[in-house]
Amino acid sequence: MRKPAPTDRPIHPLLAERWSPYAFTGEDVDEADLLALFEAARWAASSYNAQPWRFILARRREPGAFERALSCLVPFNQSWARHAPVLALGLVHGGSAAGGSPIPVAAHDLGLAAASLTVEATHRGLAVHQMSGIAADRIRGAYALPEDVLPVTALAIGYAAAPEATPEEWRERQVRPRERRRLAELVFEERWGEPAAFLAGEPED
Ligand SMILES: Cc1cc2nc3c(=O)[nH]c(=O)nc-3n(C[C@H](O)[C@H](O)[C@H](O)COP(=O)(O)O)c2cc1C
């Protein structure tokens, strides 16, 4: 299933096509595709090239490992993500090339890596649904994390199910329109909260 963003002006199709499904087909993800996704993440930019992101992978075809990762999500996310063929936990490593406190920028860098992974996934017809609803303490225990490693997100990866193949419980979320704030709420220039001049004439809604 596709759910392209109704953008106000053309953007790269890979960016418009990316979305976060709540239901996946039963199809597994090829090893080659999976490798490419993490290779894309690997080549993301990062502060001081510290590459602080780490991922813990779990595939549904390995039930023990999959249940362990799934149990590290909040119950709401478990209920839909259990049908994804692949789960990944996103973590940041606290080490920093420059010393100092790395966590805020490390989480930012993990986001960049996740964005690259997601674009590569979209290119391959896959969809990624990221989650902040994780049980960080559970992850810490389940994977015996070192103290300077911080769980941040999880990602469900697979092929988006068509509406008619989506369980009733998730259908509304699967098909609901994609919405965004207007650019005028996001891009300022002279003063905080005032739309940048180049936005004059943008669509009001
Ligand atoms: C960092 C991050 C955390 C998110 N956490 C959750 C989550 O815990 N549960 C969930 O159902 N969706 C989660 N989402 C998905 C967002 O709700 C979704 O990206 C947003 O509604 C926009 O929809 P779209 O990705 O289809 O454009 C998360 C997305 C991101 C990027």
Report the distance separating Cα 135 and Cα 130, nearest Å.
14
CATH number of the domain enclosing 81: 3.40.109.10
What is the distance in A from the centroid of ligand 1 to the CA of 16?
A: 15
**87: β partners:** 58, 156
The mean pLDDT of 40-60, rounded to a whole number, is 96
The average pLDDT across 63-84 equals 98
DSSP letter at 8 equals S
Within-domain flag for 137: yes
Mutate to test the pocket of ligand 1, among 119, 128, 130 (most ligand atoms within 8 A of CB): 130
Residue 168 lies in a domain: no
Helix, coil or strand: residue 44: coil
Any atom of ligand 1 within 6 Å of the Cβ of 130: yes
Q: Is 20 in the pocket of ligand 1 (CB under 6 A)?
A: yes
- What pLDDT is attached to residue 101? 55
Give yes or no for residue 116 CB within 6 A of ligand 1: no
- CB 122 less than 6 A from any atom of ligand 1: no
The predicted-structure confidence for 124-170, as pLDDT tens digits, reads as follows: 999 999 999 999 999 999 999 999 999 999 999 999 999 999 999 99
Closest Cα to atom 5 of ligand 1: 131
In a domain, 51, yes or no: yes
Task: Please indicate, yes or no, if residue 125 is contained in any of the structural domains.
Answer: yes
Residue 94 lies in a domain: yes
Q: Which residue of 18, 117, 126, 131 sits with most ligand 1 atoms within 8 Å of its CB, as the best mutation to test the pocket?
A: 131
Q: Is 46 exposed, middle or buried (0-12, 13-18, 19+ CB in 10 A)?
A: middle
| Position 172 in a domain | no
pTM for the whole structure: 0.95
Q: b/e string for 16-32 if b means 16 or more Cβ within 10 A? A: bbbbbbbbbbeeebeee
Answer whether 117's CB lies under 8 Å from 37's CB.
yes
Is the CB of residue 44 less than 8 Å from the CB of residue 115?
Answer: yes
Q: Residue 98: pLDDT band by 50, 70, 90 thresholds? A: low
Q: Ligand 1: does its nearest atom lie under 6 Å from the Cβ of 178?
A: yes
On the question of pLDDT at 191 being above 60, the answer is yes
Note the pLDDT of residue 202: 73
111 part of a folded domain = yes
Q: How many CB atoms lie within 10 A of CB 53?
A: 25
Q: How far is CA 97 from the centre of its chain?
A: 26
Collapse the DSSP code of 42 into the 3-class scheme (helix H, G, I; strand E, B; otherwise coil) and give the result.
helix
Domain count, the chain: 1
Please work out whether the CB of residue 153 comes within 6 Å of at least one atom of ligand 1. yes
Helix or strand holding residue 150 (H, E): strand 149-158
pLDDT-derived band at 104 (thresholds 50, 70, 90) equals confident
**pLDDT confidence band for 2 (50 / 70 / 90):** very high
Q: Helices (DSSP H) in the chain: which residue ranges?
A: 13-17, 31-42, 63-70, 75-81, 103-123, 136-142, 168-175
DSSP structure class, residue 194: S
Structural domain for 99, as ranges: 13-161
In a domain, 91, yes or no: yes
Contacts 24+ apart (CB under 8 A), 136-142: 138/71, 138/72, 139/56, 139/72, 139/89, 139/91, 142/68, 142/71, 142/72
Question: Candidates 11, 17, 20: which one to mutate for ligand 1, based on the most atoms within 8 Å of Cβ?
Answer: 20
Ligand 1 binding pocket includes 132 (Cβ within 6 Å): yes
Q: Looking at residue 96, what is its pLDDT?
A: 53
Question: Does residue 53 line the site of ligand 1, with CB under 6 A?
Answer: no
What is the four-CA torsion angle of 112, 114, 119, 122, rounded to 10 degrees?
Answer: -170
